[in-house]
Structure 1
Amino acid sequence: MMKTENYCFVCGKQNPKGLKAVFNHVNGKSYTEIILEQEYQGYSGIIHGGIIAALLDEACVYAANSLGFNTVTAELKIRFKNPAAPKEKLIVQAEANHVKSKLIEAKAWIKDKQNKIIAEAEGKLIIKEKTK
């Protein structure tokens, strides 16, 4: 099992500067809802693209890991569609559905409460070890 100290920037409960996102993940899918504060913005009133990218990456990893593997990201292609505002509820989802011998392909997306797509991603994750 890959080591964790619960200090992950996106999901770690012990990281005082982290996002503390809590992902539900099962059968190749992951899901979380999160409200980001102003400290995560880039331009005024817009959440920084790097934070959006980190959420998409984490969603892909959780989806892939729910298939019974520990994975790390090899590639992440992101398309930003609309800005996200601080204090706005965001819905983050991913689906991992294509498993190769050492690679899992996943797709992730973030929507706002009006169901408008904020960003979407395609990820390739390297299988480090089998957990199930």
Structure 2
Amino acid sequence: MDVNDTTDYQRCFACGQNNPSGLHMTFHIENDTVVSDFRPREEHQGFPGVIHGGIIATVLDEALNRASVLAEKPTWTMTGRLDVRYRRYVPYGPLLRVRASLSSQRGRMVQANGKLTLADNESMVLAEAQGTFMALTPEMLDTVMQDYPGMRAFFEGGQG
């Protein structure tokens, strides 16, 4: 299962490459971990020189959600709960790295955890998160994706 949206939709705030306001995140899998490097832009600041906590939560949410593709039965999910611990302020400027891994899967529920660090110093943990995610049902896909058949195929494991 691909971890990046390859459809023509591309409007997701976190990963949509055609969303001018978006974060434009891309992901890869490395040793059973979903990884993305991300460079915040000036407009992502809260206080001067500090990335807004909502952006940090979004980056972690997107990565943890992607960890569901690492499950024994890979699936796409929606966030049920996200707990973020902000350990340090996240500076504007340097390249950041988010890593997420699967903790468990039980029925339609997936649990994942992850951390946000400086890309060039992963021992510098800026924020951590744990989340619970719910697998999309065929009915959910019918409702949400009815106008985007390429996106539905992507979520079902095909090529968008």
What TM-score does the superposition give when structure 2 sets the normalisation length? 0.75
2:122 is the counterpart of 1:93: no
More helix by share: 2
Return the alpha-carbon distance in structure 2 between the equivalents of residues 5 and 74 of structure 1: 23
Out of 117, 121, 128, the residue aligned to residue 129 of structure 2 is 121
Aligned partner (choices 23, 29, 43) of residue 39 of structure 1 = 43
- Report the CA distance shift for 1:101/1:28 in structure 2 as closer, same or farther (over 3 A): farther
SS in 1 for 2:68: helix
Q: Which residue of 1 aligns with 2:86?
A: 80
Cα displacement string for residues 23-55 of structure 1 (whole angstroms, at most 9, x for unaligned residues): 113785210111112110000110000000000
**Cα distance in 2, alignment partners of residues 4 and 81 from structure 1:** 37
Larger radius of gyration: 2
Question: Partners of 2:58 and 2:14 in 1: how far apart?
Answer: 7
Amino acid at match of 1:21: M
Secondary structure of residue in 1 paired with 2:51: coil
Cα deviation for residue 70 of structure 1 reads: 1.4
Q: What is the count of residue pairs matched by the alignment?
A: 130
Q: Please give the secondary structure, in 2, of the residue aligned with 1:36.
A: coil
Deviation beyond 3 Å, 4+ runs, structure 1:
25-28, 129-132
More strand by share: 1
Distance (whole Å) between structure 2 residues aligned to residue 49 and residue 75 of structure 1:
16
Query: Percent of aligned pairs with the same residue?
Result: 29
**SS of residue in 1 equivalent to 2:62:** helix
Instruction: Give secondary structure in 1 for the equivalent of 2:133.
Output: strand
| 36 and 46 in structure 1: CA distance in 2 versus 1, 3 angstrom threshold | same
Cα deviation for residue 91 of structure 1 reads: 0.7
Asked if the contact 2:111–2:131 (Cα under 8 Å) also holds between the matched residues in 1, the reply is yes
1:1-132, aligned counterparts within 5 Å?
5-25=9-29, 29-67=33-71, 68-112=74-118, 113-115=120-122, 116-129=124-137, 131=156
**Structure 2 residue ranges without an equivalent (≥5):** 1-6, 139-155
Instruction: Output the CA distance in 1 between the equivalents of 2:129 and 2:9.
Output: 27
TM-align CA RMSD: 2.0
> TM-score, structure 1 length as denominator?
0.90
Farther off after superposition, 23-32 or 39-48 = 23-32
Q: 1:75 to 1:27 in 2, by over 3 A?
A: farther
